[in-house]
Amino acid sequence: MNEVTKAEIDPRLETPIVVMSCPEDLSEFATPEQQEEMRRIYAQPGIIVVDNVMGEPILTGLREGLSDYRRKFKENFNFGRPETESFKLAYSPAVERITELTRMLFGYDLKDGGTMSYRPLITADEPLHYDTYDVECGQMALMAVLNFDIRPRVWNVGPTFREICRDSAADIEEILKKKKPGESPSVPIRSAGLKGFGPLKAGTPLHRIEFAPGAVWYANPKTISHQIVYGGGAHFQQWNIDVSDCACQACVFEELAVKVPNLRVPAPATAA
């Protein structure tokens, strides 16, 4: 069954969403010019969706771990992976295909499959946020997600980090005026949004995307605000890519002259 990703675009947002279909043979998926274009769209930042990457036999194997358990905030992403032979026979080729797709689509010389995370639990109704994990200045998070669930994975996508710094600088300075050393700016911005303040508060423009089962998509979770409306099983692979023109949160604050205390100050080492 060929299912396709659906996107409802809010024209007030700048994030482009590109949806394409995956060929069986990845070897000539993109020319060097197309790879350059993909890198440009990803870094803009935009979202690139490739439908029908994974066929039914592999999806069926990955679904062995599916659970009705609804993951709570900060809980583990799985209870371990299934140990069956049929699961392993699906998992390894799935990882290889995502890795190869990523190489072919962007032209990056990836040494391995990156950091992997198998997430078979249900996630729903997240707050709108930028991810809080740390990516060094000078590097860019390249995230690939496979939806192996039986239902679409539904995301809302809000403004980019650059958009909020450009359009809501005063609010952001207010939200971050007590930022502690080592604290990710994403945390207080998310909390303020939940309390109805700042650029991520309810009512902000949102794209809505329903990622089809079998689709793989690429989105930088540090620079694109997003919220899982509903998601069953998904598998994540992430790489940190060296970039010459860094657009990390600290670099964007500096470029747009948003004043944030302790911007590049790491958390103090805990006393021994």
Residues that bind Fe ion (CB under 5 A): 131, 221
Work out how close the CB of 104 gets to Fe ion at its nearest, in angstroms, rounded to a whole number. Answer: 26
Amino acid letter, residue 134: D
Which of Fe ion, Zn ion, none binds 246 (CB below 5-8 Å, type-dependent)? Zn ion
Asked if 179 and 261 touch (Cβ cutoff 8 Å), the reply is yes
227 vs 249, beta carbon nearer Zn ion: 249
Q: What angle do CA 186, 192, 193 make, to 5 degrees?
A: 90
Residue of 206, 248, 258, 260 that binds Zn ion (CB under 5 A): 248
Q: Which of the ranges 92-100, 133-141, 180-188, 209-217 carries the binding residues for Zn ion, by CB under 5 A?
A: 133-141
Which of Zn ion, Fe ion, none binds 188 (CB below 5-8 Å, type-dependent)? none
Q: Which of the ranges 65-73, 76-84, 112-120, 130-138 carries the binding residues for Zn ion, by CB under 5 A?
A: 130-138
26 contacts Zn ion (rule: CB under 5 A): no
Residue of 43, 187, 246, 256 that binds Zn ion (CB under 5 A): 246
Place of tokens 């450009």: 166
Work out how close the CB of 10 gets to Fe ion at its nearest, in angstroms, rounded to a whole number. Answer: 19
Q: Write the binding mask 190 to 229 for Zn ion: x where contact by CB under 5 A, - elsewhere.
A: ----------------------------------------
Characterize the bridge pairing of strands 207-211 and 153-160: antiparallel
Query: What is the arrangement of strands in the sheet containing 47-51, beginning at the earlier edge strand?
Result: 17-21, 47-51, 216-218, 139-147, 234-242, 115-119
Q: Which of the ranges 141-149, 183-191, 229-237, 249-257 carries the binding residues for Zn ion, by CB under 5 A?
A: 249-257
The DSSP annotation for 94-145 comes to HHHHHHHHHHHHH----SS--EEEEE-SBEE-PPPB---S---TTEEEEEEE
Place of tokens 């302790």: 262
Burial class (CB in 10 A: 0-12, 13-18, 19+), 205: middle
Q: Where are the alpha helices (DSSP H) in the chain?
A: 32-43, 56-62, 85-106, 161-167, 169-175, 186-194, 249-255
**Secondary structure (3-state) at 198:** coil
75 vs 255, beta carbon nearer Zn ion: 255
Which of Fe ion, Zn ion, none binds 267 (CB below 5-8 Å, type-dependent)? none
135-194 positions binding Zn ion, by CB under 5 A: 137
Given the rule CB under 5 A, which residues bind Zn ion? 137, 246, 248, 251
